[in-house]
Each structure stands twice: as C-alpha cells, then as structure tokens.
Amino acid sequence: MTNTLEPTIPKPENIFYYNYPIEEIFNEFSIDPKRGLSSEQALKSLELNGPNELKKVKKSLIKVILAPIINLLIIIYLLSAVAMWALGEVQRTVPTFIIVGFNAIVAIVQQLRAEKQLEALKKLSEASATVIRDGKETVLPTNEVVVGDIIKVKTGDKIPADCRILECMNLSIDESSLTGESEPVKKTQDLNPNHEEELPLQDQKNMMFFGTFVALGQCSAIVVHTGAHTEIGKISTMLEESSTGEIPLRNKMNHVAKYLGIGVLILLIFSIIWKSFVLSSLESLSWDSFRDAMILSIDLGMKVMPINLPLLTTIVLLTGVLVMAQKGVIVRELSRTESLGRVSVVCSDKTGTLTKNEMTITKIWTASKEYEVSGYGYDPEGIVHYSWNRANPVENFELDMLISSGYLNNNCVLNQKIVGTLGKSKTKTSWSIIGLPTEASLKVLGKKYKSDIDDKIKVYEFIHEFSFDSSIKRMSKLFSKDGNKILFTKGATEWILPLCSRYQLEGKNLPINEEIRTKILENMNLYAGQGYRILTITNRLIDETLIEQDLESETARQTFESDLIFLGFVVILDPPRDDVFQAITDCKKAGINVIMITGDSISTGKAIAEKLDIYNEGINLAIEGNQLEGISEKEFPKISVYGRVSPEHKQIIVQRYQKMGKVVSMSGDGVNDALALSMADCGLAMGIQGTEVAKEAADMVITDDSFSTIVTGIREGRSLFMKIRTIIYFFVCVSVMEAIILFSATLNINDPFFEMWDYGQLNILYVTAHLFPSLGFTFGNISKTIMDEKPRDSAEIITKDIIKIMLVQMLLIGLAIIIVYYLCLNGTIGLSEFNLSGIGYNGSPNDVPQFQIKARTMGFVILFILESILMPLQIRRINHSLKDSLHDINYKKEFLFYIPSFLILIVGIYSLSIQEIIGQNLGTMFNFNFMFLDIRDWVICLIACLPALFGFEYIRKIARKKHISF
C-alpha cells in the first residue's frame, strides 16, 4: 500500500499510452483506480509537471503600452507639437505635452486595468473539470488537473488534459480544435489491436486530448500529459495568446478620429497657404510673418482635435462590460456587446431560463389510475396517493414499475445537507441535486414512494446507458435482474408512444390499440395544456439474442428502443421564474420580440407562454420545430412559441430572423446549441446549465441562467452604446463646428493674423467646453427610459440622418456665436464703463482693440453656454426632448462636471487677481484677456443662445416623429 503514496513521475513524451494496458498505467503512476490521486500525490505531481496551462506568449510591453495611445489623431497632434517646438514656440507646447501626457497615463492605466479585469472575466467563464481525488468527486479549475488524475467527462464537457480512456460509453469526441476534422470521432476504452505501432493522433481511439469536446457520451479517463506536454500544448507555443487587451471598438473609434485628424490637417495646411497668400499680397511676407502664420494655424488645429475621443469611448466600454459582469452577464466577445444593446429579437429557452427548473412531479398517470403526489421541491417529504390513500406497491404493479424505472433510468444524485436544528432532536435539512432537474424529480418521487427504495433497487445491475439526446428526446438504461435483462426508457410522449407496442394494465401487458393511444394522448394534452412537462416511462425485457450485438453500434439503440411497454407518464411542475413577467413586459416596451424555445411539447410551452404574456391566442402562433419549413415569410414573425425543438431548428430560427434584418440573441446550453449560438448576433450561454461547448461558442455567459438577467444585459448594452454615441456625437459636432468657425476667421483678407480667440482663451475653451462635458457623458448615469425606446436598426454610429441633424446644430451654434461676435466687433453692441473696468491684466489693449476683446468675451460666453451646458443637457438623453431629459433626474452626478467648468469661466472673466497669481507662477498661458461683462451683456448672450436651443429641440422633435433615433 505504501506504493500508492509514491510520487507520480513525469513521463517522457515518447511513451505511447494508447498501447499500454490500463493496469500498467495505474502501476506506473501508483494510483488506486477507485480513489484517484491522494492530495499529497496531486501536490507532488503538480510540482513535477507544473500547472496544467498552455504557455502564453507574453505580449511585448511596447504593444501593451503604446497600442492604446497611438492613433493617427495623436500622431498628428504630436507632430504639430514638434512643429511648434521647431518654430521656437517651446512654451506653447507645454500644455500640449501636459494634455498628451495626461491622456497617455490614463490610457495606459486603463489598458493595464482592462487587461487584468478582462483576464479575470475570462477566468469566470473558464472550464472546470470533474476529478476523483481521495476517493471523492471534486470539481477543479482546469489548470489544477495533474498527471495521474482520474477524470470524468460527459456530453458537452471540455477535455481538461491529454488522457487515456478507462471506461467509456457511446463516446464521441469533437476533435476539430486539434485535427480540423469536423466529424466527431468515436472512442473506445480498448487497447489498440496492433500493439507496438505508433499511431497518428486521429487513430488513437483510446485517448482524449486537451481542448477537445465530448460530443456525446461519458467516460472516465486518466490524465497522462498536462500543459505544454499535451498535443495542443506542443503546437500552441507557436500561437499568440488571443489578445484580451484588444478592444474592437477602439478600431472603430480610431477610424472616426482618423478622419477628424485628416480634416483638421487639411484645414491647417490650407490656412497656412492662405495666410502666406494674403501676406504676400499685402507685401509683408517674410520668414517671421510666415512663421507666425504657421504657429497660429497649427495651434488652432491642435485646439480642435478631439484627441481623447478614442480614450473616452474605451473607458465607457470597459466600465460598461465590468458592470455587466457584476450583474451576471459575462462578456466573452467584446465586439458583440454592441449587438446585445441592439437586440430586437430574444430567443430564450423555456426550461431554466424562463422557468425555475426546479422540477416537481405532481401527478402520475397510468392506464388504470391517476395518482397525486404531495410535497414540493427536492425535499422527499410527501406521499404518492390515490384519493388520499397512500399508494402501496402490492396493489399498484405498474405504478411500482414506473417509479423504479424512473429511479433507475437516472443519473441524478440527491444530496441532503443539514442547515440547522429545529427543536431538540430534529434537524433542518436542505436538498440539492447534481444532474438534471427532470431526473431529480424522479429520484424524489422514488423516495416519497418508498423511503428504502435504494435498498430495493439493489437487485438491478447496471449494464449500459443510451444517454439523453435532445434531438430524439429520450434516454434508456439497461439493467440485469435475476438473469433477466431489462431496458428502461423514458422521454417525450409523442416520441416514445410510437415505439411502444404494449401497455401495462393491472400487471398485464396488453397490446396498444387506437383507443388506448387516444386516451393516453388526450390525458397528456390535458396536463401539457396547463403548462406541465410530461415524461413517459416505459420498460421492456431484452432477449439474450439481442444482447449479443455490440451495444456501441449505431443500430443497437434503435433495436433496443422498440417494442416498449408503456407504464404511464409523470406530470412535472416547473413554474415560471418570479421576475420573468416583469422582464418580458420591459422587453415589449422596448420593442423587443420575445420568443420561447423548448424541447417540451407545444401545449406545455404554449400554456407557460400564455402565463408570461409571450403568447396571445389569435395574435401569435405556436409551432413545432419541424413545422418550420412550411411556414411562410408572413406567418414567421407571428410565431412566439416553438415546441419540440431540436438544436438545428434554432439555427433556422436565427437565420430567418437575420434575413429579416433583425438583431437576434439566442440562448442555449447543450452541445448541439453551439452552432446556433455562434450564428446569432448575440449568443448567450447559460452559466449553470450550460455545457462547456455552449459557453465556448457563446458571446456572453448568463451566470444565473435567468431571463431577467438577459434583459438586464440588454439594458446595460443599450446604455453603454447610447453613451458612446453621445460622446461621439458631441465631439464630432463640436470639433467640426469649431474648426469651421475658427479657421474661417483666419481667412480675413485685411488681417492675416486675425484671431477669433487668442491662445490662452483657446486653452480655457479646451478644458471647459471639451473636457468637462465629455467626463459628464462618460460617468453619467443610465437613462431611466433607455428601455422605452425601440431597438436601434443601424449598426453605424453616425448615420446619414444624424449627420444632417448635426449639420443643422453646428449651423445654429456657429451662427449665434458669429453674429454676436461681429455685432461687438463693429460696435453695434457697445462698450460700457463696467466693461472697461476689467480688461485682462496683460490684455495688451494696445494690440487688440477693445471692441474685439468684448467680442471675444461675449462670443466665448455664448460658445460656453451652448457647448458645455445646453448641448450636454440636450444630448444626454438625445432621443428625448430637453424637458423629458430633465425629468429623468439621474443627472445630479453629471452636474458635478458642469460646475467646475462654469467656475473656470467665471474666474476667467471676472477674477483678474486669481489670473495674476496663476499667470505669474505658470507663465503667460493663463492670460485670458477677457473683459468684465455686465448684466446687459449676459442677457444678450442668453438671448443669442435661444435660437440654437429651440432650433435643436425642434429638429429633434421632427426626428422623433420620423423615427430617426440616435
């Protein structure tokens, strides 16, 4: 026995385990086949072989640090700064480097945080493995699996390491990730008949490989290679780790930024050429004047470039994705977050997503009697009775058989846990299950019927299992008892009844005739019509002649599952989840179509769908999956319930909706759902019920399986992209508008050095009018009305309609500024004494005429009010009127960002002394050169803003009428 505690030894890689008898492998690794590794052995094996991880190629630091910062806009910006520096304007480049530096630091910090958090997110949806250690089954993260571990896998699981099969049943493995072969490979526990021979991977039928999936069946196996020594590990050292830090939206953003950058570049070059032209026509073109012209143009260009646009959108996306994770939606594919926000059709599984998946059998129907079952949930407290007479095994032969059949033809385990005490002697217990809830209900039923059922069924010896397959909706297990072989089959009534040739009545097997068949179906429909799940239970004796055929062969299942004896059916209650009704109401308000998909019968699905308001008689249709083909384009959108669905139907449903231009989300849990999940615009795998295959194929994982979490995800997705669109709208609108008016002002033929605002004023513009509002958008709250809007059709951020609206808004703002500016400039709006009492301390009034100082101040105030107060308020809920948007009281936090910018403006205008202090310490850049404005001036400014305010409200009203959404 001391032998078993010896450390496992790392094996040389050229040992062909597929040629080793299993006993030899056990010996080599010193393992007790029943108990698996001991914790000590596992620890030693871990030390020797290292963690079960594939080597990741570290991304170079430069890539991590520079990738988030570098985009064309930044490059143009930096080149401009270098040009300024070369032109001798070193001082002017100081704020540039402060701004770029600040941006860079935020971007790098954000990037590193994102990498970490996305890594953590990935871990959340990472695979785990069932391992036998110290004689107990435990679930471990894949990277803790070690050489020598005995593992167990079943349909849908991911193979956690390279291993040799010990015992398997109907096992097929999808090895496409390794070999590229798309057909699943049948596996066996047997030794390769041609010993000694070296086999290629695909012929190693008794081996399973890291990263492949169980397509069907189950097995136990012993781990022989982990981590880099596995077959996939050997090739994956060449693969770079799929980069988690790659943020898809950034590419889109960089694209927008690129055009803005190029636009500005063209403008500033044009401005320089124009100025030179004007200067030469005035015969004052010299190096000095040319240099000044260049400095002015470049500086202007730098002020209007929205360099933090890509950064802000990335921050919004990442914070949004993390919030989603907290709320139970783990995003696996960042680029699909947007689709989730735009979803217009949600296809949801019924069982477990819309319902609780806490199955309780409430009735049992047999040909002779109908029994009731008391009790609720997995607690086996309750009885099986017939008008309150406890059913007893002697009188109820088919009931007895039915319950045993359900109990044996079962893979679920019930666990009792003591959670507290009740009084002195009694303890409070809670029951949990490992396995399928449907099967759990049969186990509970057995225990309610006979508390000693486990002893009673010991006479049955397990031989073989034909696993549950959702495309044929049944499962069977073969047992032997007293030399007889008995097959138990259970599954969907309509699918099993045709396989039955006899039924049991008071202990006798009678041939099934039309009469009894109708009776069974009528009764089944009665209960299904009330929303119950129905499961028919059968058995049969198997002749010795049949048993001789290979149980693993393709035909075995068919020959076994025929000539069955109908015992009865159980009626299973699976109530809807509590919060689903509300979530469905929310979807309807949000213009999202909810479709129920179930493997249960249409009657069952329809009844539950009706309760949940998914299905309305007369308006909606409910069909079976295989009727899909005959459904016309016109009828298709009316279908809201699909019953008896097989996985391939899900694919057809996704395709047909996509053909209609809908954005479809599809939920799934099974192995066969993988294709539909990856086809959908937004594939959602269930976190609890879901198989590894489904999770791998999905774009997102719903941790609690609940439909309301899906809807929460949609809400988060919508608000996330609303924010991003708002930020983009804001920056594009503001940058383009400013670029146009600022550069047009430089086209003054009389004065090539005419500036709308001077250098210091442009700095304050940059901070107040650009930075603070965008922070408000970034950190503002979610709109309460986000789920009152219809789904957005266009995947584009800026549609043609939006460009039109934007142009009108730019015109309105631009006109307000320019008109007042020029009215001041030409003296129509005159100077008051108060005005003249406060001209900037270094305001060189000799250089700049007083009228112009006033024009600059007034123009700036209007720009400020329109851009950094009114526009943010108007576009923060861009699809609603300003009035409605203000009612949506979530904006308090956003005001935190408007207040400081307003303070800076006031300081800029009124507090000469503060300016002086700042200016003395930091140089001339804080020299604002504004003029005191009196009440009359403010009133003029406010009035000048009104056309822009109401004009924009008006065009948005028209847009709403025309159903143009932002």
CB of 639 vs ligand ADP, minimal distance in Å? 16
CB of 647 vs ligand ADP, minimal distance in Å? 9
Please pick, from the candidates 212, 351, 538, 783, the single residue that binds ligand ADP as defined by CB under 6 A: 351
By CB neighbour count within 10 A (0-12 exposed, 13-18 middle, 19+ buried), where does 773 fall?
A: buried
**302 touches, from ligand ADP, Mg ion, none (C-beta below 5 to 8 Å by class):** none
Name beta bridge partners: 433.
Answer: 414
**491 touches, from Mg ion, ligand ADP, none (C-beta below 5 to 8 Å by class):** ligand ADP
Which of residues 114 and 436 has its CB atom nearest to ligand ADP in the complex? 436
CB of 469 vs ligand ADP, minimal distance in Å? 9
CB of 550 vs ligand ADP, minimal distance in Å? 23
Q: How many CB atoms lie within 10 A of CB 183?
A: 10
Cα distance between residue 256 and residue 803, in whole Å: 13
Name beta bridge partners: 32.
Answer: 36
Binding mask 770-809 for ligand ADP (x = CB under 6 A): ----------------------------------------
**475 touches, from Mg ion, ligand ADP, none (C-beta below 5 to 8 Å by class):** ligand ADP
Please pick, from the candidates 205, 533, 856, 877, the single residue that binds ligand ADP as defined by CB under 6 A: 533
Cα distance between residue 690 and residue 666, in whole Å: 13
Q: Which residue is nearest to ligand ADP (CB)?
A: 599
Q: Which residue is nearest to Mg ion (CB)?
A: 351
Binding mask 654-693 for ligand ADP (x = CB under 6 A): ----------------------------------------
CA dist 311 → 106, 719, 728, 898 (Å): 8, 18, 11, 20
To which residue do tokens 């696993």 refer? 467
CB of 599 vs ligand ADP, minimal distance in Å? 3
Which of residues 115 and 648 has its CB atom nearest to ligand ADP in the complex? 648
CB of 533 vs ligand ADP, minimal distance in Å? 5
Q: Which residues bind Mg ion (CB under 5 A)?
A: 351
Size of the site for ligand ADP (CB under 6 A): 19
Cα distance between residue 729 and residue 736, in whole Å: 11
CB of 706 vs Mg ion, minimal distance in Å? 15
Interface with ligand ADP, residue 577, by CB under 6 A: no
HSE, side-chain direction, 13 A CA sphere, residue 275? 28
Contact 677, 683 (CB under 8 A): yes
Cα distance between residue 714 and residue 135, in whole Å: 44
Interface with ligand ADP, residue 349, by CB under 6 A: yes
CB of 577 vs ligand ADP, minimal distance in Å? 14
Q: How many CB atoms lie within 10 A of CB 120?
A: 12
Stretch that binds ligand ADP, among 293-301, 343-351, 369-377, 727-735 (CB under 6 A): 343-351
Please pick, from the candidates 149, 175, 600, 894, the single residue that binds ligand ADP as defined by CB under 6 A: 600
DSSP 516-527: HHHHHHHHHHHH
Interface with ligand ADP, residue 478, by CB under 6 A: no
Interface with ligand ADP, residue 494, by CB under 6 A: no
User: Which of 487, 597, 589 lies closest to 546 in space, CA to CA?
Assistant: 487
Contact 325, 717 (CB under 8 A): no
**99 touches, from Mg ion, ligand ADP, none (C-beta below 5 to 8 Å by class):** none
Q: How many CB atoms lie within 10 A of CB 608?
A: 27
CB of 535 vs Mg ion, minimal distance in Å? 13
Please pick, from the candidates 95, 310, 491, 843, the single residue that binds ligand ADP as defined by CB under 6 A: 491
**776 touches, from Mg ion, ligand ADP, none (C-beta below 5 to 8 Å by class):** none
Name the residue type at position 63: K
Which of residues 318 and 436 has its CB atom nearest to ligand ADP in the complex? 436
Interface with ligand ADP, residue 530, by CB under 6 A: no
Which of residues 350 and 450 has its CB atom nearest to ligand ADP in the complex? 350
CB of 465 vs ligand ADP, minimal distance in Å? 11
User: Which of 239, 216, 206 lies closest to 54 in space, CA to CA?
Assistant: 239
**570 touches, from Mg ion, ligand ADP, none (C-beta below 5 to 8 Å by class):** none
Please pick, from the candidates 18, 468, 707, 891, the single residue that binds ligand ADP as defined by CB under 6 A: 468
Run of H or E residues at 571: strand 564-573
To which residue do tokens 């400039």 refer? 825
The separation between CA 85 and the C-alpha centre of its own chain, rounded to angstroms, equals: 47
Tell me the helix, strand and coil percentages in the chain, rounded to 5.
50, 20, 30
Q: Which residues contact 302 (CB under 8 A, 6 or more apart)?
A: 77, 80, 81, 84, 96
By CB neighbour count within 10 A (0-12 exposed, 13-18 middle, 19+ buried), where does 18 fall?
A: buried
Stretch that binds ligand ADP, among 308-316, 455-463, 471-479, 742-750 (CB under 6 A): 471-479
SS (H, E, C) 714-747: HHHHHHHHHHHHHHHHHHHHHHHHHHHHHHHHCC
CB of 600 vs ligand ADP, minimal distance in Å? 4
Which of residues 351 and 360 has its CB atom nearest to Mg ion in the complex? 351
β-strands 508-511, 500-505: how paired?
A: antiparallel
Please pick, from the candidates 382, 531, 568, 599, the single residue that binds ligand ADP as defined by CB under 6 A: 599
The CA-based angle 321-672-467, given to 5 degrees, is 125
Question: Which of the residues 534 through 553 are near ligand ADP (CB under 6 A)?
Answer: 535
Binding mask 436-455 for ligand ADP (x = CB under 6 A): x-xx----------------
Which of residues 226 and 405 has its CB atom nearest to ligand ADP in the complex? 405
CB of 441 vs ligand ADP, minimal distance in Å? 10
By CB neighbour count within 10 A (0-12 exposed, 13-18 middle, 19+ buried), where does 148 fall?
A: buried
To which residue do tokens 């949930």 refer? 377
Which of residues 339 and 523 has its CB atom nearest to ligand ADP in the complex? 523
Please pick, from the candidates 473, 485, 792, 856, the single residue that binds ligand ADP as defined by CB under 6 A: 473
Which of residues 685 and 905 has its CB atom nearest to Mg ion in the complex? 685
Name the residue type at position 26: F
User: Which of 138, 150, 143 lies closest to 37 in space, CA to CA?
Assistant: 150
CB of 599 vs Mg ion, minimal distance in Å? 6
Residue 604, token pair as written in the block: 């069952």
β-strands 564-573, 533-542: how paired?
A: antiparallel
Cα distance between residue 516 and residue 505, in whole Å: 11
Coil, helix or strand at residue 830: coil
Stretch that binds ligand ADP, among 35-43, 466-474, 582-590, 886-894 (CB under 6 A): 466-474
Residue 152, token pair as written in the block: 């167990």
**350 touches, from ligand ADP, Mg ion, none (C-beta below 5 to 8 Å by class):** ligand ADP
CB of 354 vs ligand ADP, minimal distance in Å? 9
Cα distance between residue 474 and residue 491, in whole Å: 4
**366 touches, from ligand ADP, Mg ion, none (C-beta below 5 to 8 Å by class):** none
Cα distance between residue 470 and residue 468, in whole Å: 6
Stretch that binds ligand ADP, among 134-142, 185-193, 469-477, 894-902 (CB under 6 A): 469-477
CB of 574 vs ligand ADP, minimal distance in Å? 9
Coil, helix or strand at residue 129: strand
Stretch that binds ligand ADP, among 334-342, 432-440, 791-799, 816-824 (CB under 6 A): 432-440
Q: Which residues contact 547 (CB under 8 A, 6 or more apart)?
A: 485
Q: Which residues contribute to the site for ligand ADP (CB under 6 A)? A: 349-351, 436, 438-439, 468, 470, 473-475, 490-492, 533, 535, 598-600
